Amino acid sequence: GPKKFTGRCRLFVGNMPLDFTEDDFKALFTPYGESSEAYVNGQRGFGFIRMDYRHNAEAAKVGLDGTTKKGRTLRVRFATHGAALRVKNLHPTVSNDLLEQGFSQFGELERAIVIVDDRGKSTGEGIVEFVRKPGAQQALRRLNEGVFLLGASPRPVIVEPLEQKDDEDGMPEKFMNKNDPLYKKEREQEPRFAQPGTFDYDMGMRWKQLVVLEKEKLDRVKKEMEEAQLKLEDEMQSALYDYEAERIRQDLLRQQEELRRLEERKQQDQMRRRQEMEMRQEEERRRQDMMMRQQNM
C-alpha cells in the first residue's frame, strides 16, 4: 500500500491562537486520521503536522482551512517538501521504477515519478522525493559533480532542487495587504478592456509586443538547443560505432597475436620432436654399429 507519514502529507497551519498548546493542535486533526511530528510555535501562531496518508491530509486541509478557533481564522496549507528534487534530461525509456532504482542509492525514497504529458508520453522530467534531507542533498551534490546514467545511453540525469508552487489555494483576497499603497492605487480601477487610442491601450500593446518578442526568442533558443541535442545524439551514435569498431580491431589484433604465438609454439614443438627423433635414430645407428663391430671380432 501507500507509504505512511510522507513529506507529501505534511500540513502547515497559520494564524493559530497564540495560547494553543501542542495537545490543542493535535486534537484538531484527530477526526482525520493518525498524525505525527506535531510542532507548534506558540509565539508566532503557526504549526506543522504530518498525517498518515495524503487523502487524510487533504481532508484535514479542506475541513480545517478557514475555520475559526478562539476568534482566529485558521489557514491550512500543504507544507513544502523538504527533500524533493526535480530531475531532467531523462531518456524516453525511463520509468518510475527505474528512476526509483537509480536514486535509492542516495537514501530511502518516498516517491519517484516521471512526469508524462496528456498522451502519457514522458516529458523527460521527473520528481524524486526522499524520506530525509541528507539523501536529497547527497544526490544533488553527486549528480552535479559526476555523470549519472540510468541506462546504456550516455545521457546524464540533470538534477536541481524542486521549486514548489501552490496552484490550489493561490492568493485569496482576504490575505492581501489592504494598507499597501500599491494595492490601493491598483484597486482604483475595475477589470476592463482598454479603449484603442488611449494611453492605457498604447502601453498595453507595447507590453504585448514585448511578450511576443520574448516568446520568439525563447522558441529560437529552444529550437537551437533541440538541434544541438540531435547533433550530439548523432555524434554519440557515430562515436559508439567507432568505439565498437576499435574494440573489434583490438580483439582481432589480440587474436592474431595469439594465433602467431600458437603457430610459434607448434613450430618449436615440431622442431623439438624432429630433433628427438633424429637423436633416437642416431642412437639406434650407433647401437647397430657397435653390434656389428662386436660380431666381426
Angle at 189 between CA 183 and CA 191, to 5 degrees: 105
Grid cell digits, residue 86: 526535480
Mean pLDDT of 231-237: 93
Cα–Cα distances in angstroms (integers) from residue 237 to residues 45, 224, 228, 240, in the given order:
59, 20, 14, 5
* Chain segment 187-221, per-residue pLDDT in tens: 999 999 999 999 999 999 999 999 999 999 999 99
Question: How is residue 64 written as a grid cell?
Answer: 480545517
Share of the chain above pLDDT 90, in %: 88
What average pLDDT does range 161-165 have in this prediction? 90
pLDDT digits (tens, 9 = 90+) for 133-151: 999 999 999 999 999 999 9
Q: Judge whether residue 296 has pLDDT over 90.
A: no
State the Cα–Cα distance between residues 77 and 61, nearest whole angstrom: 7
**3-class SS of residue 132:** coil
Considering the chain, what is the average pLDDT of its residues? 95
Mean pLDDT of 10-38: 95
Q: Is the dihedral of CA 72, 78, 80, 82 positive or negative?
A: positive
CB 157 within 8 A of CB 148: yes
Report which of residues 193 and 172 the model is more confident about.
193
Residue 179 pLDDT class (50, 70, 90 cuts): very high
What are residue 111's DSSP bridge partners?
129
The pLDDT confidence band at residue 164, using thresholds 50, 70 and 90, is confident
N-terminal to C-terminal alpha carbon distance within the chain: 110
Region 31-36: mean pLDDT is 95
Over residues 71-92, mean pLDDT: 94
Cell of 286: 650407433
Q: Residue 3: which pLDDT band, with cuts at 50, 70 and 90?
A: confident
User: Is this structure's pTM higher than 0.95?
Assistant: no
**114 in Cβ contact with 103 (< 8 Å):** no
